[in-house]
């Protein structure tokens, strides 16, 4: 899924967790070869009342997976590729927040450097019913995705798509 270039409005960053997470993400993007990816942080266009910073990492390679999400106080909600979602909860405890940030950076690094695929099931109206994406991070499988209850109840899948993603560089 490609995103057109847009100008994001700045947004107030309230907590230390948000600030450190954004700084770490910027450092990870800066560590990539020049021109590999673009990072936007702020309030997305057409979202008038965003209270927390959102981010979008757009790879230069059209066959690589974008990463987008929002950073809340003590939590990172992200989407990788078409529909692979995850919530990384750090709570109020600084040690838990550090673990959530490290897992987030590890997921980003896996997206930047590895091949992976995502299976997505759609209903008759082309809405996502289920998504499954598996990344290997430090020898551990991390599963991202959605599995709507309706998909398990009716099992009426109209079509299945498999998206194969390439590394950023």
Q: pLDDT tens-digit profile of 41-88?
A: 887 666 666 677 889 999 999 999 999 999 887 899 999 999 999 999
Q: Do residue 49 and residue 98 come from a single domain? A: yes
pLDDT at 152 (0 to 100): 57
Q: Do residue 122 and residue 48 come from a single domain? A: no
Rounded Cα gap, residues 76 and 79, in angstroms: 10
Which residue bears the tokens 């008759």? 124
* Token code pair at residue 7: 């100008």
pLDDT at 167 (0 to 100): 98
How many domains does one find in the chain? 2
Q: Do residue 61 and residue 104 come from a single domain? A: yes
pLDDT above 70 (res 148): no
Which residue bears the tokens 């997470």? 21
Task: For residue 161, give its domain range.
Answer: 117-165
pLDDT, tens digit, 9 for 90 and up, residues 94-132: 999 999 999 999 999 999 999 999 999 888 888 888 899
Which residue bears the tokens 């997976």? 65
Q: Do residue 140 and residue 69 come from a single domain? A: no
Q: Looking at the domain assignment, is residue 7 inside a domain?
A: no
Q: Do residue 123 and residue 107 come from a single domain? A: no
- Would you tell me how many other CB atoms lie within 10 Å of the CB of residue 99? 14
Q: Do residue 110 and residue 121 come from a single domain? A: no
Q: Do residue 104 and residue 27 come from a single domain? A: yes
Burial class (CB in 10 A: 0-12, 13-18, 19+), 71: buried
Q: Looking at the domain assignment, is residue 154 inside a domain?
A: yes
Whichever domain contains 52, its CATH number is 3.30.1460
Q: Do residue 156 and residue 76 come from a single domain? A: no
pLDDT at 133 (0 to 100): 94
* Token code pair at residue 26: 């910027």
Q: Do residue 107 and residue 151 come from a single domain? A: no
Rounded Cα gap, residues 43 and 7, in angstroms: 9
**For 9, phi and psi rounded to 5 degrees?**
-80, 145
Read off the DSSP letter of residue 91.
Answer: T
Q: Do residue 136 and residue 122 come from a single domain? A: yes
Q: Looking at the domain assignment, is residue 4 inside a domain?
A: no
Burial class (CB in 10 A: 0-12, 13-18, 19+), 53: buried
């Amino acid at each position: 899924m490609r995103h057109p270039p847009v100008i994001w409005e700045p947004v107030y960053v309230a907590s230390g967790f948000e600030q450190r997470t954004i700084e770490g993400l910027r450092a990870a993007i800066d560590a990539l070869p020049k021109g590999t990816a673009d990072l936007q942080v702020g309030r997305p266009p057409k979202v008038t009342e965003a209270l927390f910073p959102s981010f979008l990492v757009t790879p230069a390679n059209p066959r690589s997976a974008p990463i987008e999400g929002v950073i809340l106080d003590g939590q990172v909600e992200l989407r990788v590729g078409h529909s692979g979602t995850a919530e990384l909860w750090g709570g109020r405890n600084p040690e838990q927040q550090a673990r959530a940030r490290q897992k987030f950076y590890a997921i980003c690094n896996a997206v930047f450097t590895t091949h992976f695929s995502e299976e997505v099931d759609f209903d008759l109206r082309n809405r996502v019913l289920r998504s499954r994406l598996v990344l290997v991070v430090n020898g551990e499988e991390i599963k991202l995705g959605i599995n709507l209850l309706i998909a398990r109840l009716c099992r009426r899948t109209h079509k299945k798509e498999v998206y194969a993603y390439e590394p950023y560089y």
